């Protein structure tokens, strides 16, 4: 269908056109949602984006070593053969700069930028019941209205800087990895302290250590990591990947996590000790998230998980030469993969460098930041020139709640989610008609290779809006009963795995003080989830209340 030239919702004479849809965020989700609504359904849609470019998380996360942990050939849109064929990745795992180039390539190819309003941060959204429209307010004080409001704000976009007393007194510089300066940071000759050893921290340590005078890593929770074995893609591998596009796509659609590899159909104790060790070694050599696909029960059975965990802890002890440091790193308190499992490039090896030191802040917590550095509870003080906060995000709900969304009857999303996020299919909340949350809590999202759940949500929302238009439906809203059933199912799915056992994970919201502890992503698997969503649609959007135009007029 022909697209409508909107220039970000503003017509050539500066007046605001009547919008059908407002999309918040220009990452993978927002870009594809715009393409679907504008170019497939012919709607007047606009994307509002705080940054001055596309990319979402890859626009902001420019920290040293920032790289995706999905393999490049799978970390891209699958909906278009043309995009897949034209774009060529250079490495096994794509780095931040290359992903950003890819996203600009897609945005230009699909001519998306003319309908994205950059440097436009949304600070509020309110549903007007009488008009059945959403009014969105921007930081600049503008208002825009549309029938549909679609959040495409990502799961990990609200940076979490812990409130450590004294930060404002620090005389050096400090940065959060998720809000990294575009011009980069020069670590040469500097005494650097890094707080955090999640996926981000584990990527940053080896790169910062290359130039810093000293690097002190403050570790609260020790973490597993498997080598990424990142490398440039050879011409043969590039050719092979292009030839296998259809097969890769099929695999990604059929697996529980959207990755381009299959989980082996065998259990840890189906094989003897020697064979198990051989398999783990092979997976370690292969590298990446595929490690956990060696057996099907690693996330289901604690004893099975212990085998993988012990293998990985032993690897740390083999790599790290100083036994005391090795023990601190291997002293991991949660089952493998129950927190997001990092993959790395020489993370543990970096601790063999004389200028890199590990400080265990579980046993001796950070008490304050002083003008000169970081002071621990014991009184031990570390003098620093730069502090890097690799402390993660107010994940999954933070980016939604800071939009200040108000639904029917003046009820805010924060009120609705006081005890933790509740919704139907991760897509809709009762009381918030025509609001769709792409990769919202309660959907598989972060447990998957992200482009897969993003495409699935965007296509489902597009089909739903298309259905509404064809059936004269003005408003769609999840029913409270459907939400209750879905929340119970999300909890059951999580409890069927070992994942809730990592008590301090951001999956549970435990990394942000005061946040309700609820296991947020849907752990039932992507392929199963897709089936449920398709079934709901096939049954005329079961669990949703649809209000027709005739009923609205009354």
Contact positions toward ligand NA7, by CB under 6 A?
156, 162, 195-201, 218, 220-221, 340, 361, 366, 390-393, 446, 504, 506, 511
The distance of closest approach from Cβ of residue 454 to ligand NA7 in the complex, given in angstroms and rounded to an integer, is: 14
The distance of closest approach from Cβ of residue 392 to ligand NA7 in the complex, given in angstroms and rounded to an integer, is: 2
Which CB, 203 or 430, lies closer to ligand NA7? 203
Residue with the two structure tokens 């600070």:
123
Q: Cα–Cα distance between 205 and 63 in angstroms, integer?
A: 10
Residue pair 199/57 in contact (Cβ under 8 Å)? The answer is no
Q: Name which of 118, 145, 150 is nearest 35 in CA terms.
A: 150
Structure tokens at 96: 């931040």
Which CB, 131 or 179, lies closer to ligand NA7? 179
Q: Cα–Cα distance between 166 and 144 in angstroms, integer?
A: 40
The distance of closest approach from Cβ of residue 539 to ligand NA7 in the complex, given in angstroms and rounded to an integer, is: 33
Structure tokens at 416: 């609705």
Which CB, 9 or 198, lies closer to ligand NA7? 198
The distance of closest approach from Cβ of residue 413 to ligand NA7 in the complex, given in angstroms and rounded to an integer, is: 23
The distance of closest approach from Cβ of residue 384 to ligand NA7 in the complex, given in angstroms and rounded to an integer, is: 14
The distance of closest approach from Cβ of residue 219 to ligand NA7 in the complex, given in angstroms and rounded to an integer, is: 7
Which CB, 252 or 446, lies closer to ligand NA7? 446
- With a CB cutoff of 8 Å and minimum separation 6, the contacts of 141 are none
- With a CB cutoff of 8 Å and minimum separation 6, the contacts of 529 are 443, 444, 453, 456, 522
The distance of closest approach from Cβ of residue 509 to ligand NA7 in the complex, given in angstroms and rounded to an integer, is: 11
Q: Would you tell me how many other CB atoms lie within 10 Å of the CB of residue 331?
A: 15
Residue pair 339/333 in contact (Cβ under 8 Å)? The answer is no
**What is the helix (H) or strand (E) element at residue 551, kind and residue range?**
helix 549-553
The distance of closest approach from Cβ of residue 393 to ligand NA7 in the complex, given in angstroms and rounded to an integer, is: 6
Which CB, 89 or 506, lies closer to ligand NA7? 506
Which CB, 27 or 431, lies closer to ligand NA7? 27
User: How far, in Å, are 299, 449, 552 from residue 466 at the CA level?
Assistant: 38, 27, 19
In the DSSP assignment, the letter for residue 131 is: T
Which CB, 72 or 197, lies closer to ligand NA7? 197
Residue pair 44/4 in contact (Cβ under 8 Å)? The answer is yes
| Cβ-closest position to ligand NA7 | 198
Structure tokens at 194: 């890094």
Which CB, 147 or 340, lies closer to ligand NA7? 340
């Amino acid at each position: 269908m022909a697209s409508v030239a909107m220039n970000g919702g503003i017509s050539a004479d500066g007046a605001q056109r009547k919008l059908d849809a407002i999309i918040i965020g220009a990452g993978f989700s927002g870009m594809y949602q715009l393409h679907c609504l504008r170019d497939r359904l012919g709607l007047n849609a606009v994307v509002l984006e705080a940054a001055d470019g596309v990319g979402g998380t890859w626009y902001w996360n420019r920290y040293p070593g920032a790289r995706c942990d999905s393999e490049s050939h799978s970390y891209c849109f699958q909906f278009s053969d043309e995009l897949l064929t034209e774009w060529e990745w250079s490495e096994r795992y794509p780095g931040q700069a290359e992903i950003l180039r890819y996203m600009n390539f897609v945005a230009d190819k699909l001519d998306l930028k003319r309908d994205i309003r950059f440097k436009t941060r949304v600070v509020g959204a309110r549903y007007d019941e009488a008009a059945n429209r959403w009014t969105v307010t921007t930081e600049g004080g503008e208002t825009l209205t549309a029938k549909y409001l679609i959040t495409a704000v990502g799961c990990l976009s609200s940076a979490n800087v812990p409130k450590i007393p004294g930060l404002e007194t620090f005389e050096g510089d400090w940065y959060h990895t998720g809000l990294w300066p575009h011009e980069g940071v020069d670590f040469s000759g500097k005494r650097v302290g890094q707080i955090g050893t999640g996926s981000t921290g584990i990527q940053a340590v080896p790169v910062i250590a290359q130039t810093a005078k000293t690097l002190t890593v403050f570790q609260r929770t020790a973490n597993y990591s498997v080598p990424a074995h990142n490398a440039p893609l050879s011409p043969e591998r590039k050719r092979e990947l292009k030839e296998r596009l259809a097969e890769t796509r099929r695999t990604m659609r059929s697996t529980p996590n959207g990755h381009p590899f299959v989980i082996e159909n065998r259990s840890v104790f189906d094989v003897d000790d020697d064979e198990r060790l051989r398999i783990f070694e092979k997976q370690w050599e292969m590298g990446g998230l595929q490690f956990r696909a060696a057996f099907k029960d690693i996330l289901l059975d604690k004893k099975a998980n212990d085998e993988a965990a012990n293998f990985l802890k032993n690897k740390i002890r083999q790599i790290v030469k100083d036994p005391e440091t090795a023990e601190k790193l291997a002293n991991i308190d949660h089952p493998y993969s129950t927190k997001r499992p990092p993959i790395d490039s020489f993370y543990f090896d970096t601790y063999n460098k004389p200028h890199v030191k590990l400080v265990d802040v579980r046993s001796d917590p950070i008490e304050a930041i002083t003008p000169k550095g970081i002071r621990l509870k014991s009184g031990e003080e570390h003098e620093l020139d730069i502090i890097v906060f690799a402390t993660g995000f107010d994940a999954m709900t933070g980016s939604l709640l800071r939009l200040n969304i108000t639904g029917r009857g003046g009820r805010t999303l924060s009120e609705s989610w006081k005890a933790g996020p509740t919704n139907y299919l991760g897509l809709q909340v009762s009381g918030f008609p025509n609001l769709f949350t792409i990769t919202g809590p309660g959907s598989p999202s972060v447990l998957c290779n992200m482009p897969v759940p993003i495409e699935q949500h965007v296509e489902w929302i597009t089909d739903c809006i298309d259905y509404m238009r064809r059936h004269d439906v003005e408003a769609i809203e999840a029913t409270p009963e459907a939400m209750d059933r879905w929340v119970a199912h999300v909890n059951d799915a999580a409890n069927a795995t070992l994942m809730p056992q990592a008590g301090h994970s951001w999956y549970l919201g435990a990394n942000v003080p005061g946040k309700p502890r609820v296991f947020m992503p849907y752990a039932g698997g992507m392929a199963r989830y897709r089936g449920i969503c398709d079934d709901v649609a096939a049954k005329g959007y079961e669990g949703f209340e649809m209000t027709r135009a005739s009923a609205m007029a009354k």
